Amino acid sequence: MTRLTVAQAVVRFLARQWSERDGVERRFFAGCVGIFGHGNVAGIGQALADDHELPYLLSRNEQAMVHTAAGYARASNRLATLACTTSIGPGATNMVTGAAGATINRLPVLLLPGDIFATRVASPLLQELEDQRSYDVSVNDCLRPVSRYWDRINRPEQLPSALLAAMRVLTDPAETGAVTLALPQDVQAEAYDWPDELFARRVWHVPRPRPERAALARAAERLRAAERPLIVAGGGVLHSEAADELRAFAERFGVPVAETQAGKGALPHGHPLALGAVGATGTTAANALAREADVIIGVGTRYSDFTTASRTLFAPDAAFVNVNITGFDAAKLSGLQLVADACEGLADLAGALGSWRAPAALGERAGELIREWDAAVDAAYALEGTPPSQAAVIGAVNAAAGEDGVVVCAAGSMPGDLHKLWRPSGPGSYHVEYGYSCMGYEIAGGLGVKLAAPEREVFVLVGDGSYLMMAQELVTAVAEGIKLTVVLVDNSGFASIGRLSESVGARRLGTAYTARDGGPLPVDLAANAASLGASVVRAETVADLRKALDAARAGDVTTVIHVRTDRLADDVPSSQAWWDVPVAQVGPPQEIRDEYAAAKRGQHLHLGPS
């Protein structure tokens, strides 16, 4: 037996957890990110100060620290993550947004918020909610709906089972997401005699389940009848490290591949079957074949409304075969369910298909469409002008990223433009958070990516809107000597929402950063970044931007490159797909309402038999 406080036991346990897949073991918790207050400083804070097995990183914002953990988890293909510790009250509730993003994106993060006293002797505490229905309710209960597992440790004896349950969820690819262990501040400091086996090195084996045989036979039968099949590759392809299996499958059977936001990079740009992005922010190549497809093979995708163009993209009689680690996602669009790991599912499906191959004409058409789209992207990337276009900015960053670069983005008009335009070098080169599309994720998430992959150059693309919401993790990067290249695209407002506002008849209200009289604001974001310790370069032209990117890449410090663009410009080729945002039935011009009603008629429920 070993006598430790609850907090000390938590830290020691976390430091000795490992994950394993395909025979490769790695430490599951690379460290703990945290901000200390009275609710955790005497517990988790003291434990981290004494036990150096679990490295500590000081964050500057509680929401940001969860984004950093999520970025780390995604860059690690969900085989490793970071723990996050906060005080009680606002420190804990600040994590809700980050937790929602992690859970929506199926990424493992562990939250350790401080909580009210379990003994209640000192109640009401500073920052206690005092819910009149029950003294057991605290603000940490708001983390329940955004957590895949939630528990409150009111007694030391409860800790071992809670820790094991937390690890089970975190390492289960079908269940993973945010996990919350609420730690009352008095319990954190309470000592207990723990069995030594709790702190033994523990390896959690991440499974690769295979599809059920009967379902496999049904899927093969459906595909053999296909004339125009299409693969939609989602984030599960990358999480399961199945890019090679996907490529082999596509080449063997001649099936073109379209990619969701989370799946982008599953095939590198330039592969003859790589159609690029699909859906509302897709390429015309992918969307054309999606409309014509008779069977869609969804691999690791959850079919968001952007992927399906709000269910207007695929033909009403299209059939779906879904390879997914979760039955919940595999069942979508009335799909034939292959509940399996992407690697194993693709390999088994390939074996079941035998000598079948899609018609050669499909590959030829894919090639023609890809060449047409590549020409459109070349034209967008080559745009010159002052201020530079957003497409030209993306093109310059794409060139600077090269083979080892990673682009990080999350919100605004850039994720859609990146999905269309970015030419990925392969898995891990594209990191856009678009499950939650959370403004403020960019710099914090980029920090997590760089921590997980220090050998890669990380390029963060962030708009002025997102930057103003959460720029403070620049300080963390500077303090820790973690190099990021941040391209701050300043267009004095919300470009994407401005265009959307106009399209639904809201007249761009609240989408420009201007003074009350309509004049420009005396705000200097480049000066702000410099005040946070970053090296700052102002780029006025595309040539300036390219030069600044080369210098930043050659350097070893965090650099912010400030570049202005035109908020009103629309310089990216259209996806020729739709996204459903309701139009008010009274107020907007009749033509806008008519266009929306016509688009709604093109939606399909896809209720055909699976």
Question: Which two tokens mark 521?
Answer: 């604001």
Q: Are residues 200 and 150 in the same domain?
A: yes
Domain boundary among the residues 145, 177, 205 is at: 205
The span from the CA of 509 to the CA of 527, in Å, is 28
Structure tokens, 416: 């859609």
Judge whether residue 609 has pLDDT over 80.
no
Q: Is residue 391 part of a domain?
A: yes
Residue 262 buriedness (CB in 10 A; 0-12 / 13-18 / 19+): buried
pLDDT at residue 514 in the model: 87
How many domains is the chain built from?
3
Considering the domain boundaries, does residue 249 fall inside one?
Answer: yes
What's the rounded Cα separation, in Å, for the pair 324 and 342? 7
Q: What is the pLDDT of residue 262?
A: 98
pLDDT at 505 over 80: yes
Choosing from 184, 205, 226, the residue where a domain stops is 205
Domain that holds residue 22: 2-205
- Kindly state the DSSP code that residue 521 receives in the 8-state scheme: P
Q: Are residues 263 and 285 in the same domain?
A: yes
Do 390 and 437 reside in the same domain of the chain?
yes
Say what the pLDDT of residue 47 is.
98
How does pLDDT run across 173-189, given as a tens digit for each residue?
Answer: 999 999 999 999 999 99
In a domain, 594, yes or no: no
Backbone Cα Rg of the chain: 25
pLDDT tens digit sequence for 31-54 = 999 999 999 999 999 999 998 999
- 433 in Cβ contact with 103 (< 8 Å): no
Task: Give the H or E element holding residue 385.
Answer: none
**Domain boundary residue, one of 338, 371, 404:** 371
pLDDT tens sequence across 119-148: 999 999 999 999 989 999 999 999 999 999
Residues 45 and 182 in one domain: yes
For residue range 195-243, what is the model confidence (pLDDT) as tens digits? Answer: 999 999 999 999 999 999 999 999 999 999 999 999 999 999 999 999 9
pTM above 0.75, yes or no: yes
Per-residue pLDDT reduced to its tens digit, 419-464: 999 999 999 999 999 999 999 999 999 999 999 999 999 999 999 9
Q: Give CA–CA dist 254/393, Å, rounded.
A: 34
Residue 509, domain CATH? 3.40.50.970
As a whole number of angstroms, the distance between CA 98 and CA 148 comes to: 13
pLDDT of residue 473 exceeding 90, the answer is yes
pLDDT for the residue 610: 66
358 within domain boundaries? yes
